[in-house]
């Protein structure tokens, strides 16, 4: 269970690291993306991983009861990843919002990774 959660956490971290570059390209291009060709496939891929991560994290939280990690945090991170994986493609989304999403998700992922290390 913990190995799956570690792998999914790392995968979400990689997505979170890629999204600022997507946002920068969108601003540089300064045009609306093709939703069905660009945005939807990527967002669905991220969402699928995030949902698997959420299920694994919930199981881990219920079993290991790690300090300072709660289901609401996990839920919030999944919601932010869903929004972030779409909004990064749009040049009209303010840079500060992109940064907020990225930092919030990064914090939760780092916390899960740290607590996983403590419970292994």
Architecture, CATH, for domain 2-119: Up-down Bundle (1.20)
Average pLDDT of the segment spanning 46-75: 97
What confidence score (pLDDT) does residue 48 get?
98
Task: Report how far Cα 84 is from the mean position of its chain's Cα atoms.
Answer: 8
User: Residue 96, class by beta-carbon neighbours within 10 Å (0-12 exposed, 13-18 middle, 19+ buried)?
Assistant: exposed
What confidence score (pLDDT) does residue 1 get?
76
DSSP label at residue 32: -
Q: pTM score, two decimals?
A: 0.93
Return the biggest CA–CA distance within the chain. Answer: 47
Residue 42 has pLDDT above 80, yes or no: yes
What confidence score (pLDDT) does residue 117 get?
87
Query: What does the domain layout of the chain look like in residue ranges?
Result: 2-119
Average pLDDT score, the chain: 95
């Amino acid at each position: 269970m913990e190995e799956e959660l570690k792998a999914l956490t790392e995968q979400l971290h990689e997505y979170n690291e890629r999204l600022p570059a997507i946002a920068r390209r969108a601003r540089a291009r300064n045009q609306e993306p093709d939703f069905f060709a660009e945005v939807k496939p990527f967002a669905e891929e991220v969402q699928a991983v995030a949902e698997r991560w959420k299920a694994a994290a919930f199981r881990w939280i219920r079993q290991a009861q790690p300090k300072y990690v709660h289901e609401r945090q996990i839920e919030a991170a999944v919601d932010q990843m869903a929004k972030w994986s779409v909004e990064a493609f749009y040049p009209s989304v303010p840079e500060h919002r992109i940064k907020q999403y990225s930092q919030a998700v990064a914090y939760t992922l780092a916390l899960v990774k740290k607590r996983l290390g403590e419970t292994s």
